[in-house]
């Protein structure tokens, strides 16, 4: 009898792990498809190695949201790039996009996704000083975004505004 419980328990652990992997794979596919659609609309492509993902509760409902920072570059053959932040929530067992905001880009600022803390998305920023070249913002700062309904709203702190930025 003891062996039966051991076998059943092991099978449950294996199936739970496999189920979690399947869900993670499906989540990644849904995120990939969302970003690919946006890249096609902009006639650019994602800089895939720059993508960052964090998971946490933004809405204080005990359900985790998935936050993705990604970069679309080469719009219409240019050397431009734009950074976006998208929040995905689980609806009907699938990840669905809730809100997207442009958060950085060439000659604006560069952002790096750090974490979700106290229901806010925490980002490190690099903004442009008066003598910085377009490639190389140097002024360090931080900013936060909160989800308000189906919109992301920035709560600035530190040096977050770029020289050409209207955020």
pLDDT, mean over the chain: 86
Query: Cα-atom radius of gyration of the chain, to the nearest Å?
Result: 19
pLDDT for residue 1: 52
Instruction: Tell me the C-alpha distance between 138 and 81, whole Å.
Output: 17
* pLDDT single digits (tens) 10-37: 444 444 456 677 778 899 999 999 999 9
- Provide the residue ranges of all domains of the chain, joining segments of one domain with +: 2-158
Confidence of residue 157 (pLDDT cuts 50, 70, 90): low
Q: In this prediction, what percent of the chain has a pLDDT beyond 70?
A: 81
pLDDT for residue 39: 97
Query: Within the chain, how many helices (H) and strands (E) appear?
Result: 1, 9
> Mean pLDDT, to the nearest integer, of 121-133?
95
């Amino acid at each position: 009898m003891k062996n039966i419980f051991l076998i059943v328990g092991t099978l449950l652990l294996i199936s739970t792990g496999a189920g979690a992997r399947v869900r993670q794979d499906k989540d990644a596919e849904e995120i990939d498809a969302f970003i690919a659609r946006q890249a096609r609309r902009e006639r650019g492509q994602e800089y895939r190695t720059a993508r960052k993902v964090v998971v946490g509760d933004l809405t204080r409902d005990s359900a985790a949201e998935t936050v993705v920072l990604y970069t679309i570059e080469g719009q219409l053959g240019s050397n431009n790039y734009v950074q976006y932040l998208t929040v995905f929530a689980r609806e009907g067992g699938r990840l669905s996009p809730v809100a997207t905001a442009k958060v950085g880009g060439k000659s604006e600022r560069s952002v790096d996704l750090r974490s979700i803390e106290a229901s806010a998305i925490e980002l490190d920023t690099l903004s442009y000083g008066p003598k910085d070249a377009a490639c190389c913002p140097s002024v360090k700062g931080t900013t936060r975004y909160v989800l308000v309904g189906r919109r992301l709203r920035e709560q600035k702190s530190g040096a977050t505004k770029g020289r050409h930025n209207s955020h």
